[in-house]
Each structure stands twice: as structure tokens, then as C-alpha cells.
């Protein structure tokens, strides 16, 4: 049996583990008051509603696909996932401008609140590669939210955006 | 250096500084997914940026064959062209996506470069208006010089920030070179003409 002297590496690993544990416990203490207030609703983003088309149909896929828009919809407060929520998605893609009807499509969230819609590749337009998502609260139980997430790189083939909806 | 060689060099550098980013923009893969109006709006923006480099060179009389007096004459025409290019740029974008342009004009756009572009646009219109009204309204030289110089400084700074922050059809490197040259040319012209001096001493 080889003895285990305290080497520099061993000391660093042990130190990092202790620091990590301290961060985790300290962190949870810090965030406890926020959790008590509940999950905050997602605010509408600037320019999010631009070229929105109310009532865009629910589709299996927008155009030829190849790019995935994903996200999760939850309820403000308790953060419960919301099923059957209609989310409209549109963007300037390889197949059309934002204003084109065929650039738009809607999908419904599953039991876990997750939505996933395949669409053509988003390309930079108006200076940024970005997508648009809408939850239209018209006649619905939650308030309207428009999102406009920006892709970190124009070459990305997925974009993710989460909704936390506020009861109307 | 012989004057002829110097002249050829200066024109060649200017031509290259404009032609290279223009060529990059005209062959951008993004064009495949844009309609003609949107493409035209983008080209108008590139033309405007190129003219922003040309304007101080003409105003300062730096271009061979276009000394101060003749340079200033051409400067007025290219200035009008610059205004037209910016109008075409904004109008084309408006037709492509009205709400995005309205957001930009109202300073509520999510993209930071929009505000820089809009500030530069208004400063450009004001600089051009001042030039157009200079003689009809007999604007005093000290006010004219300071006003036009201050406004075009805003035009150049705003346009450079606007262009550098946009992810568009121009190549980053060629765009940066064009912007740096425009900044240098503007700074040189303003310093040489002593734009901050209130009395006009320069006779051409």
C-alpha cells in the first residue's frame, strides 16, 4: 500500500471541493428569498411582436425544416409546466422574409410544457440572426408575451426560448 | 515621390477601400435569401458608408486632381448623393420590415446599432440642410463652419458604430478598414481646416 502524502494537486482538489460546497450552500441561501416569491413572469422583449401574424396555423414543420426552435412554457409563481399552450414562431429564414405568411407557424406544448418546432435555417436579417416567438393571450388564460431571442452564432441550427406566463 | 505616382497611389487606395467591401457585400451568401428591395437597401447603406469616406477627402482637397475649390464643388454633389443613399437605405428597410424601421426611428429597437444609425441620419440631414440654407439664409461663416463640422463628426461616428455593430453583408475586415479610413479622413480634414476656429481664414 502506497501512502498518500499531501501533494499540491491533492490539496487543490480538496480546496476546490470545499469551496464548491460552500458556494452551493451559500448560493442556495442567497436565492431562498427569490424562490419564496415564485418564478417571475417572462417580460415581452423589444421588437418581439414585429411582423407577427395573429392566428398563424398549427403546423408539423415550417417549410423544409433543418433548424429547431425549442423552449418550455411554465406558469408564473409555482413554475408548473403548461400543456397545450399555443406558441407562434417566425423568422427570416433561407425560405422567406419575416412578413411572409409561409415563414410563420404555431405549435402546442406537451405535458412537460416543452415545445419543439422544426423550421428553415434562420439567417441574419436586420443586423442580427434572430427568431420571434409569441404567446397570444387574446381570449386565453395568460397575458400575451412576445420574445425575440438572438442566436449567439449565425451558423447555429437551434434556438431556445422559455416562457413564464402570468395569469391574465 | 513623383506627383503622378502619388496621385495614382491615393486613388488606388481609395478605390480599393471602397471596391473591396462593395464586392464582398455584392457576393454575400445572405443575398440569396433577400428580395431585391432588401438587397438594394443594403447596397445603399454600403454606398453611403463609402461616400462618408469620400466627403472629408473632398472637403479637405486631398484627392489629386480635386484641390480645395473643385473638391468642395464635388463635395456638394456627393453630399446630395449621400443623403439620397441614406434615404434609399431607410426606405428599402421600411418596405422590407416596417415595424423594425419604426422601432429604430422611435429609438425602441432591440438592436443597439439602430440608434447609432438613426442619430447619424438626423445629423446628416441637418448637415445637408445647413449647407443648403447657408447662402439663402446668409448663415454666418463661423456658425456654418462650426455647425457643419460638428454635425458631420456625429454623422461619421454614428455611422461607423452603426456599421461595425451590424451583422450584414459587408465583410468584417473590409468594413473595419473602410470605417477606420473614414474616421482618419474626417479627423484630418477637421484638424487641417481648424474646424473649431470660429473665423474662416482659409482662402482657396
B36 part of contact set with chain A, CB < 8 Å: no
Domain presence at residue B197: no
Query: Who wins on pLDDT, A20 or B126?
Result: B126
Domain presence at residue B203: no
Tell me whether residues A47 and B110 touch, CB distance under 8 A.
yes
**pLDDT score for B198:** 65
Mean pLDDT of A148-155: 97
The alpha-carbon gap from A73 to the nearest alpha carbon of chain B, in Å, equals 23
Tell me whether residues A127 and B167 touch, CB distance under 8 A.
yes
**pLDDT score for B1:** 77
**pLDDT score for B6:** 94
Domain tally, chain B: 1
Domain presence at residue B80: yes
Tell me whether residues B108 and A123 touch, CB distance under 8 A.
no
In this predicted structure, the answer to whether residue A63 has a pLDDT above a threshold of 80 is yes
For chain B, give the mean pLDDT.
94
Contacts for B34 with CB less than 8 Å, ≥ 6 apart? A97, A125, B42
**pLDDT score for B201:** 54
Q: What angle do CA A136, A141, A142 make, to 5 degrees?
A: 55
Interface test with B, best of A47, A90, A151, A161 (most B CBs within 10 A): A47
In this structure, are residues B56 and B191 in contact, taking their beta carbons and an 8 Å threshold?
no
Domain presence at residue B202: no
Domain presence at residue B96: yes
Least confident of A20-24, A39-43, B60-64: A20-24
pLDDT classification of B176: cutoffs 50, 70, 90: very high
From chain B, the residues in CB contact with A98 under 8 A are 97
Least confident of A62-71, B75-84, B113-122, B193-202: B193-202
**pLDDT score for B142:** 86
Mean pLDDT of B24-29: 96
**Which domain covers residue B127, as residue numbers?**
3-192
- What share of chain A has pLDDT > 70, as a percent? 78
DSSP character string of A99-151 = TSGGGEEEEE--TTSEEEEEEPPB--BTTB-BEEEEE--TTSSB--EEE--B-
Domain presence at residue B199: no
**pLDDT score for B197:** 76
**pLDDT score for B91:** 98
Beta bridge partners of A91: A131
> Taking CB atoms and an 8 Å cut-off, how many pairs form between chains A and B?
57
In this structure, are residues A71 and A113 in contact, taking their beta carbons and an 8 Å threshold?
no
Find the DSSP H helices in B27-109. 36-59, 68-96, 98-105
In this predicted structure, the answer to whether residue B43 has a pLDDT above a threshold of 60 is yes
In this predicted structure, the answer to whether residue B125 has a pLDDT above a threshold of 50 is yes
**pLDDT score for B14:** 97
Mean pLDDT of B11-30: 96
Least confident of A45-59, B109-123, B132-146, B154-168: B132-146
Encode pLDDT of A85-131 as tens digits.
999 999 999 999 999 999 999 999 999 999 999 999 999 999 999 99
Pairing mode of beta strands A86-91, A131-135:
antiparallel
Domain presence at residue B200: no
Query: Who wins on pLDDT, A36 or A159?
Result: A159
Amino acid at each position: 500500500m502506497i501512502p498518500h502524502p499531501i501533494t499540491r494537486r491533492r490539496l487543490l482538489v480538496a480546496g476546490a471541493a470545499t469551496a464548491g460546497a460552500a458556494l452551493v450552500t451559500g448560493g442556495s441561501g442567497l436565492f431562498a428569498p427569490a424562490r419564496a416569491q415564485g418564478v417571475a413572469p417572462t417580460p415581452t422583449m423589444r421588437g418581439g411582436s414585429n411582423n407577427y401574424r395573429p392566428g398563424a396555423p398549427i403546423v408539423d414543420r415550417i417549410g423544409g425544416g433543418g433548424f429547431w426552435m425549442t423552449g418550455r412554457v411554465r406558469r408564473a409563481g409555482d413554475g408548473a409546466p403548461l400543456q397545450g399552450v399555443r406558441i407562434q414562431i417566425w423568422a427570416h429564414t433561407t425560405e422567406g422574409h419575416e412578413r411572409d405568411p409561409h415563414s410563420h407557424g404555431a405549435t402546442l406544448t406537451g405535458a412537460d410544457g416543452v415545445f419543439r418546432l422544426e423550421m428553415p435555417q434562420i439567417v441574419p436579417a436586420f443586423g442580427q440572426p434572430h427568431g420571434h416567438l409569441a404567446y397570444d393571450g387574446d381570449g386565453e388564460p395568460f397575458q400575451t408575451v412576445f420574445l425575440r431571442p438572438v442566436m449567439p452564432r449565425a451558423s447555429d441550427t437551434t434556438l431556445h426560448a422559455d416562457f413564464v406566463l402570468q395569469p391574465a | 515621390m513623383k506627383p503622378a505616382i502619388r496621385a495614382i497611389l491615393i486613388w488606388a487606395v481609395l478605390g480599393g477601400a471602397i471596391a473591396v467591401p462593395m464586392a464582398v457585400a455584392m457576393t454575400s451568401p445572405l443575398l440569396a435569401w433577400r428580395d431585391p428591395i432588401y438587397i438594394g437597401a443594403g447596397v445603399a447603406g454600403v454606398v453611403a458608408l463609402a461616400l462618408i469616406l469620400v466627403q472629408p477627402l473632398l472637403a479637405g482637397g486631398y484627392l489629386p486632381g480635386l484641390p480645395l475649390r473643385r473638391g468642395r464643388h464635388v463635395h456638394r454633389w456627393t453630399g446630395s448623393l449621400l443623403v439620397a443613399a441614406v434615404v434609399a437605405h431607410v426606405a428599402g428597410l421600411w418596405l422590407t420590415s416596417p415595424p423594425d424601421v419604426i422601432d429604430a426611428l422611435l429609438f425602441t429597437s432591440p438592436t443597439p446599432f439602430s440608434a447609432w444609425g438613426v442619430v447619424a441620419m438626423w445629423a446628416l440631414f441637418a448637415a445637408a440642410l445647413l449647407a443648403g440654407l447657408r447662402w439663402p439664409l446668409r448663415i454666418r461663416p463661423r456658425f456654418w463652419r462650426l455647425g457643419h463640422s460638428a454635425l458631420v463628426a456625429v454623422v461619421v461616428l454614428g455611422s461607423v458604430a452603426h456599421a461595425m455593430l451590424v451583422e450584414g453583408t459587408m465583410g468584417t475586415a473590409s468594413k473595419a478598414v473602410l470605417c477606420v479610413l473614414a474616421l482618419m479622413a474626417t479627423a484630418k480634414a477637421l484638424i487641417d481646416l481648424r474646424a473649431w476656429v470660429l473665423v474662416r481664414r482659409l482662402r482657396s
